[in-house]
Amino acid sequence: MAVLANGEDNGAMDSTVAFNGFHHGRNSGSEAARPGISSIESSATTSEEEFKADLSLSRQKTVAAQSCRDDYQPSTPPSSFSQPTPSTPPLTPKSTTPVVKSEQNERKHHHLHHHKQFTTPIFTPSLTTFDRHNPLATSSPFFGFYTLFWMSVFLFVVKIGADNWREYGNVLGTHEILSTMFAPGKEVVVLGLADGVMCGLTGIGLVIQRGVVLRRGVNWDGSGWVVQHVWQTGFMAGVVGFTLWRGWPWTHTVFFVMHGVVMVMKMHSFGFYNGYLSGLWKRREGLKGRVERLEKGVITERVASSVEKADNTATTTARRRHGEGEETDTLKEVNMLKSEIEALTEELKGKTTDPSRAYPNNLTVWNHYEYIVFPTVVYELEYPRSNKINVYYALEKLVACFGIIFVMIMISQAFIYPVVMQTVEMKAQNMPLAERFKQFPWMLLDLIFPFMMEYLLVWYLIWETILNFLAEITYFADRSFYDAWWNCVSWDQFARDWNRPVHNFLLRHVYHSSISAFKVNRHTATLITFGLSACVHELVMWCIFKKLRGYLLVLQMCQLPLVRLSRTRWLKNRATLGNMIFWLGIFTGPSVLCSLYLIL
């Protein structure tokens, strides 16, 4: 039970960063291309050099992924919003000089430098490390240890079930946790319906973009982003309030709040990226109108000039020459404006190869809800897609998902639930705090190994089974949901590799956006990202325990000095020592947190 309470799903929690307002629509930074869980912290500490290294590593992994699957192709679903624009042949000035081209390039470069605040993410076809389709997995020298781990888990669960059968007459034992989840009156059906309604309500973000920003001409940089933030905050408050109103147990609360956080994150990325594009689109339309007016003026001037050709008086000749000079200047301006229009058009297309998916053609109901079910929280106009669904692969991941949940329930029931009930009994007997603290070391030792097991299983459940299942049924080809976090030698590396999707979101919408919107330096942006992450984690802990203690917040913020320490001469280039410190934190962190929340 406590395993979920201690933030194993931190990646999703971190997503709540979306509704906290650290993002003006006109300012949003770049992001790395690939996804992962406690990534929140990572986004903050990722330097520009590390970001480039991530992109290089992504391209390297693509080669291995494409060697085992060759069925990836760009997705080009139809759009009902396409509006073909008639092209007008450009007018060429009578005398074109090299200066014109130079000025055009300078203006285009200036535009790209000034407006390119959303760097297109690098989404590439790839597979997860433990996917059996990944050739790197089967060729790994540690492949046998992976097999040994799951054999050990199976035998461990068999032993737990056998002990339960001998003592209680059934393999589930006293099954309090299972009863909490599925017993009559626990509102499992209500939970499912409420979750569906919650996902459906994300469409309000589409309404804001199409009805408010695009059609009604609301300026995104003015009040548009405020409307988006008000909606996101109200949405998250409604999610938390609904769990309190229904009085759900911790199992229901964890799922609903975490999924609500993910939906807020998705809405934020969808809203702010499209809001940014809306500003570019409106500027391009304005420039098109100006070009049209200038070209009409040039045509009118040429007609008038042709009428005056018969008049060869000195005055008429001088006026004609003056008009030709003005026409040349006008045509220079027209060409420069067209160059900027071209740059804006390219940015509105992003990486998409289909014009029907460029902004604003992407603002359709299908596009929005397709993105909602994608295993990513960073919105883009187009993602790499596969061209078929492997039904057997999808079933494999689905069965593995329920199997892992069963294993987690068995471990929690056998080793974690008794410790929790022990603390409940101590409080019921009004045991003094000092006496309860005497039990803290023993409680910690009782929980450390079960929590370690649950920690690993939660990670595998989400990032290897659930996300891969969603990716398969949605034709989503980029499966790099995590990196080799088990080899981490520092906490910033862990934060980047553990949860790539949330890391990418925070890097784009919090870390870089803090720098561009608030004009802060990288260290302050790091502090903002870590602090926001810690507050969101603490909110989830409050939803579970109904206690506001701040233990998780403090421990998360302690990662900042630990990151700095890992870069000192005492730990730098000492990979084994750094990895030992990392695993010591993973071993002790969840159990320490749970013990503190239970005892105090």
Beta-bridged to residue 386, according to DSSP, are 72
CB 202 within 8 Å of CB 372: yes
d(CA 188, CA 182): 7
DSSP H stretches of helix in 308-362: 314-349
DSSP 8-state assignment for residue 356: G
Quick one: which of 526, 531, 505, 504 has its CA closest to 515? 526
Quick one: which of 220, 500, 515, 504 has its CA closest to 359? 220
- If you search the block for the tokens 């990196």, which residue do you land on? 483
DSSP H stretches of helix in 350-439: 365-373, 391-411, 417-428, 433-438
d(CA 101, CA 93): 12
Specify whether the backbone of 89 is left (phi greater than 0), alpha (psi in -120 to 50) or beta.
beta
d(CA 253, CA 240): 8
First to last CA, the chain: 18
∠ CA 390-394-400, rounded to 5°: 145
- If you search the block for the tokens 């003592």, which residue do you land on? 167
d(CA 530, CA 553): 9
Catalytic residue among 24, 175, 503, 537: 537
Cα–Cα distances (Å) from 47 to 17, 433, 512, in that order, read 20, 45, 10
Residues, the chain: 600
Active site residue 537: yes
Beta-bridged to residue 476, according to DSSP, are 385
Phi, psi of 570 (to 5 degrees): -75, -30
Quick one: which of 10, 11, 45, 22 has its CA closest to 561? 45
Phi, psi of 187 (to 5 degrees): 60, 45
Q: Known catalytic residues?
A: 537
